[in-house]
Amino acid sequence: MPDIHVSAAIIADDRGRVLVVRKRGTVRFMQPGGKPEPGETPAATLVRELDEELGLRLDEDQLRPLGRFVSAAANEPGHRVVADAFWTTIDPDAVAVQAEIDELRWITPADVATLPLAPLSTEHLLPLAWPGQPL
């Protein structure tokens, strides 16, 4: 199964909500992020993608590494996503839909059952965002 390498962010606000986005032409929500350009580190990829997709300007030192996670790809059947994940906390007013993003939502554990979410989000990232919470 071919791998798709990405960087992804768990972005939380001061109320404990987590940001998810839906890319144009897709139905599943996921953590923001994207694929690296040649020579980019995972953190540099994420800084660039968050700026392009959400207008969010961060420095790499504002990202806390969480590790590497593997799940079925949400939008590319027959592929796996290999994600370097990071955590950051922001003001929810600091982001806006841009580029290929169609929609963004700030969610709580109660929203998980009501949204179509990417496997990476449900299997790995959201459990890290809300440890001990039933999802």
For the cut 90, the answer to whether the pLDDT of residue 63 exceeds it is yes
Does pTM top 0.85 for this prediction?
yes
* CATH of the structural domain 3-129, one choice from 3.90.79.10, 3.30.565.10, 3.20.20.210, 3.40.50.720: 3.90.79.10
Q: Where are the domains of the chain?
A: 3-129
Percent of the chain with pLDDT over 70: 100
Which of 58, 52, 54, 48 is closest to 19 using CA atoms? 54
